[in-house]
Amino acid sequence: EPEVTQTPSHQVTQMGQEVILRCVPISNHLYFYWYRQILGQKVEFLVSFYNNEISEKSEIFDDQFSVERPDGSNFTLKIRSTKLEDSAMYFCASREDRGGVHGYTFGSGTRLTVV
């Protein structure tokens, strides 16, 4: 069964450093998403991406964050100047272009620890 692949599974970074989280969506999917889950809390939407641009973003997704699809396969989330409160599980997701929820699939997540 096709999977959304996220790397690394766990990343530790020092406060103030930049970090890039990588995702490889399912190959025929055209919509891409990032979600965040702070430990012990609910999963929260960060951003959606379609046709090489952001379609929606939440209040969490401020100027510290950016996304891009540099090579047509990877979908990345960059966090500039990380803060302690950025420590969380970050989930990538993708879905097909058939509308609705067809094929909406989450990756296994990247655990980011900011020290």
Instruction: Give me the residues that bind other proteins (CB under 8 A), please.
Output: 31, 33, 35, 37, 41-45, 48, 50, 55-56, 58, 89, 91, 95, 99-101, 104, 106, 108-109, 111
Residue type, 56: E
Q: Which of 92, 90, 77 is nearest to 38 (CA)?
A: 90
> Token digits for 24?
């490889």
- In degrees and rounded to multiples of 5, residue 95 shows phi and psi of -150, 165
Nearest approach, Cβ of residue 108 and other proteins (Å): 5
User: Between residues 15 and 43, which has the closer beta carbon with respect to other proteins?
Assistant: 43
A 10 A CB-CB count for 102 gives 10
User: Between residues 13 and 45, which has the closer beta carbon with respect to other proteins?
Assistant: 45
User: Between residues 53 and 71, which has the closer beta carbon with respect to other proteins?
Assistant: 53
Nearest approach, Cβ of residue 96 and other proteins (Å): 11
User: Between residues 24 and 89, which has the closer beta carbon with respect to other proteins?
Assistant: 89
d(CA 58, CA 44): 9
Torsion of CA 96, 88, 110, 99, to 10 degrees: 0
Nearest approach, Cβ of residue 48 and other proteins (Å): 4
